[in-house]
Amino acid sequence: MMELLEVYYSAILVGALMAAVLSILGAHLASRDKALQSLTISQAATTGVLAGVVLSGGELVDALDSYLPPLGALVFATLVFGLSEKALSLKRSGRGNVLIAVFTSLLALGYGIIAYFPQLESHMAQAFFGDLVTLSGAELWTTGIVAGFGILFFLFRTRTILDESFSLAIFGPNDVLSKSSTSAFTFNAMALLIISVSVYGLGLLYTIAALFIPTVVFSFVSRSNARTHLAYCASVSTIATIVGFSLSLTATRVPTVPAIVAIMLLASLLGAFVSRTYVTIRSSHCKHRH
């Protein structure tokens, strides 16, 4: 077991780091009511990766060391982001309908690419769901650099991003803070880069799970301040990645990413339950004292 951990140490480290970045980003996106938009963008990035593989010659092994798959992911994600921003400017009743239509079209396009280029069919599972075990080479370095940059970005801009997320959650996109185009552009650019590279290196399922499972579960079950919420989400996703990866190495028939997602969900529920129980006991204790 220890020998395997030494072999996959870099992949575990990068996966855990990216999970923390994604969970923090996902908490902000969820508070800004952009979960469905993020799902659509992630699917666009997946389609972009497939397009990049095709342009690289159709051989996934060679293409993963090319710049085209991550570039394709970023280009497709950016284009769909622009389209979805137009959709979000519509009335609230029409937003979800447009995004679902775009998501469905992208899903069909992705499967169309795979059907037209049969050499990609055997790699479909990895293209959509990823596998940390195969994270190496250019994928490993690209994902690790972006994850590290994302951590620094959120550390140094925590207060600004929290203020903007709170303002957008309460007042909507027409609030005065939304007029700060530089700040909004920086956040959106980082979100697109992080999501695109995560889909390229770790897959769609891993990306979506890390983005939204911790923050959604914790928001439903527990109430805490924003910084505690972010710390909880980052901790749960990081621990789930390490434990899930280790479990898949021990039980070879257990797929890595589904194991991580399952543990992430269970850890989120357990953590939220413990947090709520602690708050209830503390509140009850305070009442008895008074």
**In the predicted structure, residue 250 carries a pLDDT above the cut 50:** yes
| pLDDT tens-digit readout, 170-204 | 555 554 444 456 778 889 999 999 999 999 989 89
How much is the pTM? 0.86
* Interval 198-227 mean pLDDT: 86
Tens digits of residue pLDDT in 84-98: 887 767 655 567 788
Is the per-residue pLDDT at 59 higher than 60? Answer: no
**Cβ pair 26, 214 in contact under 8 A:** yes
Reply yes or no on whether the pLDDT at 117 is more than 90: no
* Between 184 and 72, residue with greater pLDDT: 72
- Return the higher-pLDDT residue of 224 and 219: 219
**Which has more confidence, 11 or 5?**
11
**Secondary structure (DSSP) of the chain:** -HHHHHHTHHHHHHHHHHHHHHHHHHHHHHHTT-HHHHHHHHHHHHHHHHHHHHHTTS-HHHHTTSSHHHHHHHHHHHHHHHHHHHHHTS-HHHHHHHHHHHHHHHHHHHHHHHHHSGGGGGGHHHHHH--GGG--HHHHHHHHHHHHHHHHHHHHTHHHHHHHHHHHHHH-TTSGGGG-HHHHHHHHHHHHHHHHHHHHHH-HHHHHHHHHHHHHHHHHH----HHHHHHHHHHHHHHHHHHHHHHHHHSTTS-HHHHHHHHHHHHHHHHHHHHHHHHHHHHHHHHHH-
pLDDT at 149: 94
Average pLDDT in the chain: 81
With bands split at pLDDT 50, 70 and 90, how would you rate the model's confidence at 118?
confident
Q: Which of 36, 114, 112, 49 is nearest to 81 (CA)?
A: 36
pLDDT higher than threshold 70 for residue 166 = no
Contact criterion met (CB below 8 Å) for 90 and 54: no
pLDDT of residue 176: 43
**If you average pLDDT over residues 106-119, what whole number do you get?**
82
Segment 237-261 shows an average pLDDT of 87
Strongest mean pLDDT among 1-5, 36-40, 120-124: 36-40
Looking at per-residue pLDDT, the higher value among 96 and 244 belongs to 244
Q: Could you tell me the pLDDT band of residue 252, with boundaries at 50, 70 and 90?
A: confident
Rg (CA), the chain: 20
Residue 257 sits at the vertex; the CA angle it makes with 201 and 244, to the nearest 5 degrees, is 120
